[in-house]
Structure 1
């Protein structure tokens, strides 16, 4: 759903037309069936990632979503009834996790807090807040990873049981820098040789981008090779 396009419905419509074209060779009637009569599952929570419309208004974004497509009337909405992400490890956690799961769903449905038109102030419970702190980065790391240095050899503790979510790559760097500062050991700095790919399609382009500029780019999946 989060494609950078002026019409996110194009990919759904294109898939529909392609399947109709393929399936009509086995049954002429399938050309009139959505997706050629094949079962197609659209997964995910469509409330989380909306179509990307550069400088688009709220109505423009809604109008290019899957729900606004003429294919939507042929879809059947299936809802999950179990929140697998909050599976309790102990029986006494059931009530707490159920309460938190219901609150998360209310936030997603837009019914938490006062009636609103897209913006609302939410009251968070004290058990999910870190209060009275002068250094927010240090406080959240200490809260999520207590006794970090003693737990370094434990992959379950570091990689599976907990994580810190950050809104930007700059915040990720701040968290990582703080965590590294708390670990004893000799620091080693590795320098990369950054350059634009030397294939024929990039002839003349390589001179436009300096190493400093390439290193300033912060985005996921960005890779520079020699």
Structure 2
């Protein structure tokens, strides 16, 4: 509707930010976010009117008395870096002057090109020898697809890999192999924890700017065609998405539609990039708030329009099974049978553990001799009580605290200081003293940051 195209609106916004923070880096980052995501019109006028505000910290760092071109370039360099981090392009496209790094490669591209090819080649050579025949087939199939990507209309591959079959091992070798060849391979996962397992992994929402959306809708990724992220995607040979079974089918559909549009290949899945998604349907499906089993099935990737066209690969050999470990082998086989619905009700062995009747008895069994070990870190590292509800966690924590004879200490902090209070100390070695806060005097003991 053009309501935000008025230059004065954005200038007032910048001045409002300045009134709320003295952090000029935060100001520049917020401004960069405006440039990338708000589709602002020509910013040359706003920059000329407010550039002193954007560069004031650089003036202080250089201990200068007057602004000069070097100081303004420092501010422009910082804005350019923030714009790149948000997936934008050169700031000149928004009407700002060219920065020193304006013609250089952006952070997002440098990050994916910074891998040591020689080192990765050696690691791939060693690790590829460890692949079993099942893993080798998957590995070779994906590499063949990458080498012959143009021959296939649909380069989507689903790797079905139950726990223990070496899924992460195979995915990481694939990533390392592609990167050792000087090509771009992007690694993402549906959750933050899963992304840490992949080499160079990030969450899919972070990497592809996938918006948070309702379960039944499709949106577009926040990627502009002239952005640095779009350039990176145009250079990409492989995308790996782990733990994909817990992703909503519309999330993948959103990425598919966006890549087709960004890369200008409307007739090819994921814009023609070889796309390997992996997961285990024995594990969690998409979590639908307030939904039931039917909803989970409806929004599972198997219900997506792209599912039938995915090439299905499978890892079946459990690499954790060992000939001399009969108990663990039985457990692994029973676990798979349970996930496939091939086993009946689960029965725990009679000597599985110690049965307790009350929470107090549970705490006494797990935290025995707590009085003698309450300052022993290794004692607590070896003990855990897992509970499905936070209420039980709170009750059990209080019971554990009560078993300790150490006197309780409360470390107070000032959350809101009165205007006249200007001498609040932050040293970790000051004595206990009183500080006035918005709800009266409280004991202030900053012996350490907690």
What TM-score do you get using the length of structure 2 for normalisation? Answer: 0.32
Where in structure 2 are the equivalents of 1:106-185 lying within 5 Å?
106-113=337-344, 121-131=345-355, 133-136=356-359, 138-139=361-362, 142-143=365-366, 150=373, 153-155=376-378, 158-159=380-381, 163-185=384-406
1:188 to 388, 409, 429: 409
| Cα deviation, residue 97, structure 1 | 1.7
**Between structures 1 and 2, the one with greater strand share:** 2
State the partner residue of 2:285: 50
State the partner residue of 1:104: 335
Question: What does the per-residue CA deviation read over 1:96-154, in whole Å, with 9 as the maximum and x for residues that have no partner?
Answer: 222222222222222221xxxxxxx42122343432x23246427725x6655548534
* CA–CA separation in structure 1 for the residues paired with 2:373 and 2:272: 57
Q: Give yes or no for the alignment of 1:70 onto 2:305.
A: yes
* CA–CA separation in structure 1 for the residues paired with 2:295 and 2:339: 21
Structure having the higher Rg:
2
Distance 1:20 1:61, change over 3 A: same
State the partner residue of 2:261: 21
Contact 2:297–2:303 (8 Å) recurs in 1: yes
What is the CA RMSD across the aligned residues, in angstroms?
A: 3.8
Query: SS in structure 2 opposite 1:181?
Result: helix
Distance 1:23 1:52, change over 3 A: same
Contact 1:4–1:51 (8 Å) recurs in 2: no
* CA–CA separation in structure 2 for the residues paired with 1:4 and 1:45: 24
Query: SS in structure 1 opposite 2:312?
Result: coil
Question: What does the per-residue CA deviation read over 1:148-173, in whole Å, with 9 as the maximum and x for residues that have no partner?
Answer: 55485344x644x5643321111222
Q: Give yes or no for the alignment of 1:6 onto 2:215.
A: yes
* CA–CA separation in structure 2 for the residues paired with 1:13 and 1:46: 19
| Cα deviation, residue 13, structure 1 | 0.3
| Cα deviation, residue 64, structure 1 | 1.3
Contact 2:259–2:270 (8 Å) recurs in 1: yes
* CA–CA separation in structure 1 for the residues paired with 2:290 and 2:412: 38
* CA–CA separation in structure 2 for the residues paired with 1:61 and 1:75: 23
Unmatched segments (≥5 aa) in structure 2: 1-189, 192-211, 217-247, 417-450
Query: SS in structure 1 opposite 2:339?
Result: helix
* CA–CA separation in structure 2 for the residues paired with 1:33 and 1:107: 38
Runs of 4 or more consecutive aligned structure 1 residues displaced over 6 Å after TM superposition: 1-4, 191-195
Query: SS in structure 2 opposite 1:40?
Result: strand
Contact 1:16–1:36 (8 Å) recurs in 2: yes
